Chain A
């Protein structure tokens, strides 16, 4: 579960301070797959980064008793000048997988992302599709209670989407997902709860169809 208490988050821009959320409090029940929907720039990715602990609120607390993945996004948490293999090894070391476990994960990602020899090329030479395949595969190589997935699945080709869906089906037996997506069928298929991010506030819809209707209206 997640519990947000009085969360305020703002960013400093050259034109002054901009608030994304102000005094936000809500609880998200445990064991649900969460869909985050909202317009571009509404704060979905910010909320996801806050949930993952990659960013901290100005004030207030975000409590959870689960292990949470890093936000798996299009930009991918990669250092561009390092090779794919080095990036994967880096993340493995950050998350404490060394030795045989690390080699296993590198193999898994290489096979899942279907990048073959490209694994030894710098990440910055990858196409965006390859990059997001690696990013997605890398997060799937680890076991978390919650996976934070930011639009990654919507960019792949049909075959890759099918593969994602397969591995997801398996993961979702034991884990949950927080999904940012503009693709409503995907939200409908995967999520049990929808959080609509709008105008610095968040509405929780237990009924996915209702949430999507509110988003479209």
Chain B
């Protein structure tokens, strides 16, 4: 059942929003069918969200394994990212085949850059997830708030609509969110006629990731003793 749910979740998101959009406005965005447009951005976003959120639980889930001195908390984080990536890749592959079979054009416009960008996004969410995991280990009550914060992120990251549909006045603020950059870049790499909004830059994502990774690894280094001995979270 758990395995089926992995497939059902993105499909549900996709169906609901495709139907909504089809009713509300045109069926295509930037010259591609709306479901294709959403899938291309939503699949990676769901992976990133799961990665960032599930790392908060990985310590608690694997606590009994720390009895083996070879196993460190960082290992459980990395293992979680690998698991989530495998699941997401499988789901995505199934959906892409399904879409292609139905008749949508699923070719990737610039595949190498696309893969590199997906990996960059994964590294970013790994750093973010690790930092969140370390913070919620110290303050377990923040977990609920962080989970809730990911819900609006769904809308302001341009998962369902192109970033150009977001309010222009708010753009400088919205562009602080690296997820928006990542999703816009991914779409531009998959869809041949997609133009990302002004201000989207690869450099911003890379520097954000590097700083965040440095911060989370540094915090991990400082807190690594507590992670095993304190039974929080």
Q: Which residues on A are within 8 Å of B, measured CB to CB? A: 11-12, 49, 52-56, 58, 70-71, 73, 75-80, 91, 94-95
Q: Whose C-beta in chain A lies nearest to the C-beta of B61? A: A79
Whether A49 touches B230, Cβ cut-off 8 Å, given contacts A56-B225, A79-B62, is no
**Contact for B64 among A56, A75, A94, CB less than 8 A:** A75
Q: Chain B 131-167, CB within 8 Å of chain A: the 1/0 string?
A: 0000000000000000000000000000000000000
Residues of B within 8 A of A70 (CB): 67-69
Contact A78 B64 (CB under 8 A): yes
B228–A94 touching, CB < 8 Å: no
CB of B225 within 8 A of CB of A58, answer yes
Q: How far is the CA of A53 from the CA of B72 in the complex (A)?
A: 12
Hey, which chain A residues are within 8 Å of B65, CB to CB? 77, 79
A94 contacts B68, C-beta separation under 8 Å? yes
Do A94 and B70 touch (CB < 8 A)? yes
Q: Is the CB of A94 within 8 A of B229?
A: no
Cβ–Cβ < 8 Å partners of A79 in chain B = 61-62, 64-65
**Is B64 touching A76 in the complex (CB atoms < 8 A)?**
yes
State the CA gap A158–B151 with chains docked (Å): 56
- Give the 7 A-B residue pairs with the shortest CB-CB distance, closest first: A77-B67, A53-B69, A70-B68, A70-B67, A54-B69, A54-B67, A12-B230
Given the complex, which residues of A lie within 8 Å of B225, measured CB to CB? 56, 58
Complex CA gap A70/B71 in Å reads 11
- Mask, B192-233, CB within 8 Å of A = 1, is 000000000000000000000000000000000110111000
In the assembled complex, the CB of A107 is this many whole angstroms from the nearest CB of chain B, namely: 21
Cβ of B68: which chain A residues have Cβ within 8 Å of it?
Answer: 54, 70, 77, 91, 94
B99 within 8 A of A: no
* B114 at interface, CB cutoff 8 A: no
Closest chain A residue to B138 by CB distance? A12
Q: In whole angstroms, what is the CA distance A52 to B230 when docked?
A: 18
Which residue of the partner chain A has the closest CB to B230?
A12
Which residues in chain B, 44-73, are within 8 Å of chain A measured between CB atoms? 61-62, 64-71
Question: Can you give 17 A-B contacts (C-beta < 8 A)?
Answer: A12-B226, A12-B230, A52-B67, A53-B69, A54-B66, A55-B228, A55-B229, A56-B228, A77-B64, A77-B66, A79-B61, A79-B62, A79-B64, A80-B64, A91-B68, A94-B70, A94-B71
Shortest B103–chain A CB gap in Å is 40
Additional 8 contacts, C-beta under 8 A, given A56-B225, A80-B64: A11-B229, A54-B67, A54-B69, A70-B68, A76-B64, A77-B67, A94-B70, A95-B70
* Chain A residues near B64 (CB-CB < 8 A): 75-80
A76 to B, closest residue via Cβ: B64
Contact mask for chain B residues 61-101; partner A; CB cutoff 8 A; 1 contact, 0 none: 11011111111000000000000000000000000000000
- Bound Cα distance A94, B225 (Å): 21
Complex alpha-carbon distance, A200 and B68, angstroms:
25
Taking the closest CB of chain B, its distance from the CB of A48, in whole angstroms, is 10
Minimal Cβ-Cβ distance residue in B for A80: B64
B62 with A52: CB separation less than 8 A: no
Chain B: CB-nearest residue to A13 = B230
Closest chain A residue to B228, Cβ basis: A55
Expressed in whole angstroms, the minimum distance between the Cβ of B134 and any Cβ of chain A is 14
The chain A residue sitting closest to B231, CB to CB, is: A11
Q: Which of chain B's residues have a CB closer than 8 A to the CB of A71?
A: 67
* Chain B residue contacts of A53, Cβ below 8 A: 69
Q: Which residues of chain B come closer than 8 Å to A95, judged between CB atoms?
A: 70
Q: Which residues of B have CB within 8 Å of A55? A: 228-229
Contact status of A73 and B67, CB under 8 A, knowing A55-B228, A55-B229, A79-B62:
yes
